[in-house]
Amino acid sequence: MNSKIAATFLTEHLRHKIGDSRKLCVAFSGGLDSAVLLAGLAELRDTTLPQVELRALHIHHGLSQFADDWMAHCQAFCHQRNIPFSAVKVQVDAQDGGIEAAARTARYQVFAANLAENEILLTAQHLNDQCETFMLALKRGSGPAGLSAMSADSSVHGYRLLRPLLDLSREQLEEFAAQLQLSWIEDDSNRDARFDRNFLRLDILPALYQRWPHFASATARSALLCAEQETLLDELLIESLCALTDDQGSLAVEGLKAFSSVRRSALLRRWLASRGAKMPSREQLQRIWDEVALSREDAQAQLVLGTLVIRRFRQRLYLLPEFQSLKDVVIRWDPAEKLTLPDGLGYLKADPAPALQMAECVIRQPRADEKVIVRFKAHGVIEKVGRDRARQAKKLWSELGVPPWQRDRIPLIYYDEQLMAAPGWFTTRQSQPENNEAQWQIVWSALQ
């Protein structure tokens, strides 16, 4: 294949893969795969589709002594082809699931933060990468979702991701690169068999390819079949999932009890996926059901899943971030100023009370000797306005339908040691004015 034929084949292949997409950002490492992808797209732009807006984004992981040289190479590669280039340096925490997983997480965080509106990310994984991903999923004991490996066209983290080289082999890409006289980076870490993917690539798969030359294509076909099965299950289960899920995204435990364990597990997985959770193992999935869904009503059961927590309240499952504890936080507040609350909870401000006493949280202003304090933990009994008798704090929150994990995250207005109000929830008897005392309205604006 001469260079002209190679370029034509590659550009036609890419033109078909990108379809109507025109704002393209290539994740450019400088290696063989991304060099072929970026050069092919530049050729497509220059010869066939001048309306394509193409740029390259390089992630500088800082893990290699050659990282600065690689960045310089990528910049020169792009300059030669009139491709806008940008680079972002990231810090990789090797304790975050290992170096490979941490570097991947860092990359996709950068992509999510740097893509423009309607811009599509393209990555250069190829057929042999797909085979490795399938084998790694098999090693982990994954089900059809994991064995689906990588999708050629998907939406992740709020953007569209295309992998246009998935049905081309590494050997084909090497041939394109040679014919197009491309230069690329050889990452020294790719020779380190301590990493699982490299172990497969260096020590296992070559023997399989020699024995069965079409092994990579066969595993890609299996991955596609698994993906099709998952898509079919999605279609069959979507009606049940919607019926079990409310506007807050919580899932009905009682409704799940009516299903077989197999169908229940499939519904739980799809609920978690729809909420952006890391997929649980089979053991974790069983624990979600046994230890959280079926726990005692008064138990505050929970299970941590990555950065999220699964909790139950009133026969519903919730998937929530891990909240910072605020129960010991005490803040002195000058109501003449707006108060920014901790942990992204918004702010408090005090406005003159409206003439009509219909607004929420209208209370008397503090007396001369009273300090205004904001806390997040209520103790003892609370004499709520509108109730005939005092209630223990825990009982009052339960009657108001406030889940346990929110109870220490609602700002409470105290005058000295006396609770006056929980903005948006209640005011206390002690907050009521006497002898025409001045009043004000406490407004809690929570950040969305």
- Which residues are documented as binding site for ATP? 29-34
Residue 29 token pair: 């490492």
Smallest CA-to-CA distance from 176 within 12, 48, 47, 18 is with: 12
Number of neighbouring beta carbons within 10 Å of residue 106: 19
Cβ atoms of 309 and 303 within 8 Å: the answer is yes
Distance of CA 265 to CAs 137, 143, 237, 284, 304, Å?
A: 19, 12, 11, 11, 17
Phi-psi region of 97 (alpha: psi -120 to 50; beta: other; left: phi over 0): left
Strands of 10-110, DSSP E: 23-27, 53-60, 85-89
Binding-site positions read 29-34
Is 408:326 a contact under the CB 8 Å cutoff?
yes
- For the stretch 287-318, what's the b/e string if a residue is b when 16 or more beta carbons lie within 10 angstroms of its beta carbon? bbbeebbeeeeeeebbbebeebbbbbbeebbb
Can you read off the two tokens belonging to residue 166? 């998935």
Tokens 């898509």 locate to 231
Phi, psi (deg, nearest 5) at residue 368 = -55, -35
What token pair was written down for 99?
């170096």
Instruction: Burial-class residue 117 by CB neighbours within 10 Å (0-12, 13-18, 19+).
Output: exposed
Encoded tokens for 130: 């797909």
Residues 6+ apart with CB under 8 A from 278: 305, 306, 307, 308
- Angle between helices 127-139 and 215-244 in degrees, nearest 10: 60
Rg (CA), the chain: 29
Residues 384 and 421: their CA atoms lie apart, in Å, by: 9
Neighbours of 273 (CB within 10 A): 14
